[in-house]
Amino acid sequence: MTQNPPDFPLRALFEAQHAASRAQVDVPLALRRDRLARLRDLIETHAEALSEAVEADFGVRSRSLTEAADLFVLRAGMAQLHKELPRWMKRQRVRTPFYLLPARGYLQPQPLGVVGVIGPWNYPLQLTLGPAATALAAGNRVMLKPSELTPQSSALMASLVRQTFAADEFCVIQGGSDVAQAFSQLPFDHLFFTGSTQVGRQVAAAAAVNLTPTTLELGGKSPCIIDASCDLHDAAIKIAHGKLLNAGQTCIAPDYVMLPKGMEPAFETAYWAAVAKLFPSIEGNPDYASIVSERHHARLLALVDEACKQGARVSGWDVSPANGSTRRQMAPALVFDVPPGARLMTEEIFGPVLPVLSYIDLDEAIAAINARPRPLALYWFGREDAHRDKVLMRTVSGGVSVNDTLMHVAHEQLPFGGVGESGWGAYHGKAGFLRFTQQKPVLVQSRFAMGHLFYPPYGARFTRV
Ligand code: NAD
């Protein structure tokens, strides 16, 4: 694994970025667009090499998957930033209350200064360069710390960024959790973290010491509710896609399904038909990603094994070479009758294993969701609008897709983020720009201001009669 040398100047890099951000507070549109253009060119010129690096990091992960799930999303986000920046950078007039007239008030967007970004391994390009691009567009300097679990793509990003940007503009820091810990202790103007809830707590605690504001994009167990009114075949293929994209290693993958009691056999049949359509084979299929490491693979096998020992029934479970192979391509599984205390129902799964729970009435399903930490995403499938509205109005989640999975993340006008234990703060589109921007309120007084009416001595001026 590529490591920074022991005398790695983390602090010196931060100081250089900090000094530069204070020396140039007003970052003009042309410079912001130039930084975005350099980043876009870097991605375009090296798209193939970046995808190859991700493939090497995972073992198996087709370049098409990285194109669709990392690079396509990155390009779309950067194109929107380029287009909308002039509008978003403009000061925004606000209405002034009558007692302050004829003063004027406006909001002046300004860069925050230095933004730290800590990224995960599951979409190692989109979830690192995406927030970095938004922070640069908002006029900030950026220090990025990608995951040590994807060392090849992290090293390539570090080298390409070094060739393209001055270190006090944008730099990539490589290293493990020790480096990440030191990184999160830097007094950034904003720290943007994507990763697990467990590490998110540590990041929030480290940032609090410096009063550094954070965005925490965390994980959790995202439920998928099937209504009796749904088109089961349509639901099954969308759930299978959402669950098996990147072999379930997606923060908003449906973590478990809840369906009306009695629908289990029909769902089981429809799900396997959908899986066969999407992935005619598992082992060796480049579209079906590997589990990222031996440790993660072993954990997933143990989760299913433990649930089975506690009485769960596994459908499609395959302990043939596909599960144990060096490629770590883990076959998909449905798990029925999972005891509530099993780790499959207490931990985020983050793999191609889907517990299926049954409910008798909708209130019971809603209560079960509300008894858990608030999820990052919630999915609902059906045609009964009253049921849909009941679920949406009585549950709280980071985001929702109705009659689909994952897709709300791709809608660039919808902010993306968690709530409660799935995180705080949202980004994408304008929400991202604002996340990395100080919207400075300014009041401009008029020569004809009536402010003196508020000066003492008050006499009887404010006395109610
Ligand atoms: P992780 O929390 O283990 O690691 C994320 C990053 O944190 C890595 O770069 C790591 O080096 C760094 N890190 C480790 N220890 C640290 C510490 N003490 N202080 C600061 N940084 C530290 O997460 P992961 O395994 O890379 O990613 C999987 C998790 O991320 C899942 O829970 C998933 O749901 C979540 N996730 C969330 C989103 C989202 O947008 N909400 C997106 C992708 C992944």
Q: How confident is the model at residue 3 (pLDDT cuts 50, 70, 90)?
A: very low
What does pLDDT average to over the chain? 95
Please write the tens of the pLDDT for every residue from 297-327.
999 999 999 999 999 999 986 655 445 566 7
Question: Atom of ligand 1 at shortest distance to CA of 179?
Answer: 11
CA of 399 to the centre of ligand 1 (A): 19
In this structure, the residues whose C-beta lies within 6 A of any atom of ligand 1 are 118-122, 127, 145, 147-148, 177, 180-181, 184, 194-196, 199, 202-203, 217-219, 251, 348, 350, 376, 418, 423
Asked whether 435 and 426 are in contact (CB, 8 A), the reply is: yes
Q: Give the Cα separation of 392 and 446 in Å (integer).
A: 48
What pLDDT is stored for residue 462 in this prediction? 80
For 206-220, 237-251, 314-328, 389-403, which range has the lowest pLDDT when averaged over its residues? 314-328
CA of 406 to the centre of ligand 1 (A): 19
Q: Give the Cα separation of 355 and 313 in Å (integer).
A: 10
Q: How confident is the model at residue 387 (pLDDT cuts 50, 70, 90)?
A: very high
**Which residues does the annotation mark as catalytic?**
217
Distances (CA, A) of 317 to 321, 322, 342: 12, 10, 17
CA of 194 to the centre of ligand 1 (A): 5
Distance of CA 404 to the CA centre of its chain: 18
Using CA atoms of 242, 246, 247, 248 in order, give the dihedral in degrees to the nearest 10. -50
Asked whether 202 and 234 are in contact (CB, 8 A), the reply is: no
pLDDT at 425 over 50: yes
pTM, full prediction: 0.95
Question: For residue 380, what are the β-bridge partners?
Answer: 225, 402
Q: How confident is the model at residue 255 (pLDDT cuts 50, 70, 90)?
A: very high
DSSP 8-state symbol, 327: T
